[in-house]
Amino acid sequence: MHFINPQKHTRRAFLKRGTQLALAGTATPMALNLAALGEAAAMTATDYKALVCVFLYGGNDYANTVVRFDDAGHAQYTQLRSAGGNGALVIPKANLSATELKPTTALVNGVKYALAPEMTGMAKLFDQGRLAVQLNVGPLVVPLTRQQYTARVLAQPPKLFSHNDQQSVWQAQGAEGSSRGWGGNLGDLALTSNADSMFTCMSVAGNAVFLSGQNALQYQCGLSGAVAVEAVRGNSFGQFMYEPAMRTAFAQLIQQTHTHVLANEYNRVMQRSLTAETKVTSAMGGVSLSTPFPAGNILGAQLKTVAQLIGGRSSLGAKRQVFMVSLDGFDVHDGMAARQPALLTKLSEALTAFDAALQELGVSDKVTTFTASDFGRTLTVNSDGTDHGWGGHQFVMGGAVKGKAFYGAPPPLSVGNTSAPDDQWHVGQGRLLPSTSVDQYAATMAKWFGVNDTELYGVLPNLNNFGVRAGRPDYPADLGFMKA
Amino acid sequence: MQAEETIAEACPASEANASIPGGTASGDVKHEWSEAALAACVAMLLSACGGGGSDREAEAKLSAGGVRFQPELLPRTPGERQLAMAARIPSATEFFDWAQRQFPALFSSQESDRTAAGGLVFRFFPGTGNYLAVLDGSVLVLGPLTQGQVVNVGTLQSFADAVGSGASSAKPSTDADAARFLLHAQFSASEAEIAAVKTKGYAAWLDEQLALPNSQSGWDWMVSKGYSAIDVNEYFFASGTYQFMVWFQLFQSPDAVRRRWAWALSEVFVVSWRGIKDLMNWDSFAMTEYWDMLCRNGLGTYRDLLEAVTLNPAMGCFSSTRGNLKEDSATGHLPDESYAREVMQLFSIGPYELNLDASLKRNANGQPIETYTADDVSNLARVFTGYNQDYSRPRFASPKSPNPMVNHIESVRGRMVFDGRNHSLLEKKFLGTAIPAGTLGPESLRMALDTLVNHPSTAPFLCRQFIQRMVTSNPTPAYVQRVAQVFNNNGSGVRGDLKAVLKAILLDDEALNATTLSSSTFGKLRSPVLRMAQWARTFKAKSVYGTWKMFLWDGNPAQDANQYPLNPSSIFSYYRPGYVPPGTAMATTGATAPEFQIVNESSVAGWANLLQGFVNKGVWVSAPNQPGFASNASDGHDIVPDYSAEKALVTTPQALVDRLNLLLCAGQLSAATVQLIVTALQADRMQANATDDLKQIHVARALMFVMCSAEYIAQR
């Protein structure tokens, strides 16, 4: 892996980004004062911070996750969600009392929410101030009203309602095929802070664009830690290649460079794998974590690995890291009554355990975890499930989060298509029209991560369309859910 | 003088026969060059026989260009012209190879190609004293054939389709070429198959394979192994046993080409077990039926395949067509849109309008053009209403407490059934088609599927992916176009002839020629499933107990290569056709390399460990003596290889590695890699009288080297 000299990285990265923006023709109000930038890296962190993305693949149904709990709201939710189905997808109000969310400052108009009944752990975190709810967030290019959406007069995210494209839009602000994710963009800026750039962006979830930067690439850690090549190391199965000379030759073979690009790139991954494994195994081995993680919970297993990696951060020389984990299965077109609660149980138990582990490691205020998903879903039901939507409610968790609070605007419960105000925050069937963009959501966390104002617009170029700069203070660049 | 005799024999003074003088008149190369060359011979016949002179003189003459001969070499009909224009311009080497194959009496006993200043490339044929040369894209001939004059017989482009189409009647000249073709077409290459391809030629061998009857269905196999039993094992609930069937077929079905193609189709028309296992009774048989459907329909027409996919029960469950109800204005219910979106986005037209070579069409602003809108999806969704599994047969109670009711096994077989009461009779307007209100379900379906099949983007969208599955991850636009043309018309006016498409892919010059073989960008990564199938077939793996309980899952990260048959994480398959791995050489050119999407620091190590786990004594199976998932005293190595031929070579490591290089890699391991492996193997100091166990593990080590080599994993 050819990493740019960190000393030159920041300035060069900025030059590149500036050129790209100029070519893109965006009228950025940003003044690229390179002289002022000089050689000073924008982020040379001395403290530690990490962001953890929990991607819920398939599109999580927001309405049965963060459920309207006030009487009027719940009644309306009940009515809208019973139609077309047998009512099995309505969570009775009585079942929600235990997980009612009581924010420090009550929402206006008496709006109340509760978490799905199985999310008791996260309800507690909310109450303890380490969990916040971001309401109705989703991809936007510019702020949109329903009329503008329908008339298609303003730029819209590409390929709405398509899984793979919306996953890509959330992660990389572009349809499938985009090659750089905002987590990777953060990683690019973070490289200078880390002794070993390889451990800047780490995934336990599989290949995804979120962590791909220009220079920062995701490192894939296995669920039980870094995977060693047994034939080289030769410990656990006995010595498959008994002769040291053979083992040496094998190690050489699998790291050889080749003229053929596919062969060469395959071996480059192997090189990274071998180089990283000893360091990662050693780093994780030095971590003792007594917090129990839920059994049979693949998200929990991933977060446990992340916790151990965070525990081993000094050994890896890491100061700024971005992690990704994921949970599949949220595309509940049918069987939703059984499937979604099972997934939300996993989510809640895994995040609760992760929070406890971070406290055990003493890094609770240094790690911010957030959820993301392809999209929310329809409010209307489809016999026993829901269809693809757009905006949804997400969670932000950590000691640096101003929890026990809601951010964003509670969407009206509506599936109507009139010009009434209540019908303006969905685009049909209760698919929410986001009132907060992914860019704002990400920017709030990026700012906490240590990205300065100028660089923020490099990480998230679309941010230019929101906030005071764009004359839209109602879509603020900083949503305010992070402590200073 | 030899050349003179050749000309005298070959150029009868008054004959204007259509065959090349002395050349092989293969019936399908009626090329006008033959007439032009004949005319040249006749014109110069009675002149003194001048040779090419010395090489230096020849070079100088050739470099000076030639008298323009002006034969009309382009084919006559517009259709042929179009095909010719789409044909890739051959390289000089390819042209020379083709010419000497076609006209051996004129160009024999070649020397190696040489270059000269000015970009001249030429090949001398001492057997006839003639030169063939290429200069600035034009073909020159010099020698006794042309009476010592340099004659320009036309551009390389004008020979393109002749050279290209010639490949289909071609035969591999080397074992490596034969193996290369076999490994594109199926899972493995044996010595016997290599010999057969060399004897029969690519096309004839392939035709034989494609004519083989569809071998035993997965359904029958599953029944024979006891998985349709109704007992306390409850094979009808969330049963991963379908995977045993898939591996068995990948490892053992005699119609390997058909199975390889079915595997490719399963990566495009995706149903994933994890998406149905909790939503269907008899999920393993549902997956089996889906696989069988691909095997039954894969070599028929795309139209038939698309309909079979659409109405397949497992697909119905996976994509929510099953039980999809029409609109209900009282409740506001609208039809589920999953399949409508997916059938357009993934199974037919794709998301953007494409040219025939799969390049994006662009509007006046230079932007790609979306093929469908959300409205198209909503309208098309109405077509896929009213279908459900066939629940007409009686259910039964599971023998195991609490004895839940279970659907009949036939409910996952064949096609979903239609109930008009649940079908939307609204008008359906999509993709410029309008299905009138009131149209009955079957007719709606017919019209909808016809629309998708006939859309101009369908052929390039699918054919590019098919090429990626079989041959190369980033095909040239011209290759895509040639195949897409066959999709649109197989030559007999049939659209979507998948057998013809498969032949076009495998027999295309780009798949077979020497240039792509030595290209640094051509080819694809072998996916983990294909590597395992190759191992099993090459070494005649057998299941001792006949149960074939091979199973890959994500439960053991240390041995996880990230691919589980018929169980990808979503309908978007194991990897995306448009995936460009970030931070790689492919990213700088935007070259797609789908299989890299499951390649990461964990999975590359996972593959090496997985291989190490089975390559010596075979696959370890729990309870191989009985069906299902269990563990007992019979746990052991059940799917075992036969390395007898390899074990006979343990004292001759060069021969051993050469053998593995040919059979597994089609000779694509470089000399340096071969040398590295040979040297490494010598560390074992194998003796002829070593124990069988020792010989076995030595062979296993050799296989570790070969099958972990990037030159094996990247297949050309």
Partner-chain contact A161 B612, CB within 8 Å = no
Closest alpha carbon within chain B to A2: B583
Question: Does the beta-carbon distance from A84 to B569 stay under 8 Å?
Answer: no
Residue B38: CB atoms within 10 A of its CB come to 21
A374 touches chain B (CB under 8 A): no
Sort out which chain A residues have CB atoms less than 8 A from B708's CB and list them: 231, 250, 253-254
User: Does B562 sit within 8 Å of A273, measured CB to CB?
Assistant: no
pLDDT at B95: 84
- Whole-complex ipTM: 0.88
Residue of A191 and B112 predicted with greater confidence: A191
Mutation target for A interface from B604, B668, B679, B694: give the one with most A CBs within 10 A: B604
Listing DSSP states for B251-285 in one string gives HH-S-HHHHHHHHHHHTTS---HHHHTTTSTTHHH
Q: In Å, how far is A308's CA from the nearest CA of chain B?
A: 16
A5 pLDDT higher than 50: no
User: Mean pLDDT throughout B69-98?
Assistant: 59
Phi/psi for B131 (5° steps) reads: -115, 140
Cβ contacts (< 8 Å) between A228 and chain B: which residues? 558, 605
DSSP code string of A416-477: --SSSGGGTTBSSTT-BPPSEEHHHHHHHHHHHHT--HHHHHHH-GGGGGSBGGGTBTTS-S
* A324 pLDDT more than 60: yes
Q: How far apart are CA B468 and CA B590, in angstroms?
A: 15
Residue B37: pLDDT band with limits 50, 70, 90: very low
Confidence tier at B263 by pLDDT (50, 70, 90): very high
Each residue of A247-258: pLDDT tens digit?
999 999 999 999
Residue A177: band (very low, low, confident or very high) from pLDDT cuts 50, 70, 90: confident
Mean pLDDT computed over every residue of chain A: 90
| CB contact A265 to B (< 8 Å) | yes
Rounded mean pLDDT, B10-26: 32
- pLDDT(A22) > 50: no
- What part of A 148-187 touches B (C-beta under 8 Å)? 159-165, 176-177, 179-180, 184
List of chain A residues whose C-beta atoms are within 8 Å of the C-beta of residue B671? none
Contact between A385 and B336 using a beta-carbon 8 Å cutoff: yes
CB pair distance less than 8 Å for B713 and A266: yes
Per-residue confidence at B101, pLDDT binned at 50, 70, 90? low
- Whether chain B has a CB inside 8 Å of the CB on A79: the answer is no
Q: What is the pLDDT of residue A44?
A: 81
Contacting residues of A for B358, CB less than 8 Å apart = none
- CB contact under 8 Å between B612 and A159, yes or no, is no
Q: How far is CA A107 from the centre of its chain?
A: 26
Q: Distance between CA A163 and CA A167 in Å, rounded?
A: 6
Of the given ranges (A211-215, A300-304, A471-475, B442-446), which has the lowest mean pLDDT?
A: A211-215
pLDDT average, residue stretch A341-349: 98
Is the pLDDT at B3 greater than 70? The verdict is no
Q: How confident is the model at residue A208 (pLDDT cuts 50, 70, 90)?
A: very high
Q: How far is CA A183 from CA A1, A372, B46, in A?
A: 19, 12, 79
Quick one: pLDDT at residue B105? 78
Angle of helix B458-470 relative to helix B498-507, nearest 10 degrees, comes to: 50
Please say if the pLDDT value at position B47 is more than 70.
Answer: no
Cβ pair A387:B337 closer than 8 A: yes
Torsion sign over Cα A30, A34, A40, A43: positive
Mean pLDDT of the A418-439 span: 96
**pLDDT-wise least confident of A88-97, B18-27, B572-581, B610-619:** B18-27
Is the pLDDT at A38 greater than 70, yes or no?
no
- Find all residues with CB under 8 Å of B56, minimum gap 6, and list them: none
- Between A117-126, B49-58, B353-362, B439-448, the lowest mean confidence (pLDDT) is in B49-58
* pLDDT tens by residue, B494-528: 999 999 999 999 999 999 999 999 999 999 999 99
Give percent of chain B above pLDDT 70: 87
**Residue contact B716–A260, C-beta within 8 A:** yes
- The rounded distance, in Å, linking the Cα atoms of B412 and B417 is 11
pLDDT of residue B331 exceeding 90: no
Give the model's confidence band at A352: pLDDT under 50 very low, under 70 low, under 90 confident, else very high.
very high
pLDDT grade for B45, boundaries at 50, 70 and 90: very low
What pLDDT does residue B4 have?
Answer: 35
How far apart are the C-alpha atoms of A173 and A425, rounded to whole Å?
A: 22
Average pLDDT, chain B: 88
Whether the pLDDT of residue B461 is over 50: the answer is yes
Q: What share of chain B is helix, strand, coil (3-state, %, to 5)?
A: 45, 10, 45
> In the predicted model, is pLDDT for residue B43 greater than 60?
no
Q: How far is B396 from chain A (nearest CA, A)?
A: 22
Average pLDDT over residues A121-131: 98
Taking only the tens place, the pLDDT of each residue in B655-667 is 999 999 999 999 9
Average pLDDT over residues B302-310: 98
Q: What is the pLDDT of residue B542?
A: 98
Residues B127-164 have pLDDT tens digits of 888 989 998 888 889 888 888 888 888 888 777 766 75
Range 410-469 of A in CB contact (< 8 A) with B: 415, 429
Contact check, Cβ <8 Å, B334/A159: no
Interface of A with B in 132-151 (CB under 8 A): none
For A227, the closest of B333, B557, B670 (CB atoms) is B557
Contact status of A387 with chain B (Cβ, < 8 Å): yes
pLDDT in tens, B356-405: 999 999 999 999 999 999 899 999 999 999 999 999 999 999 999 999 99
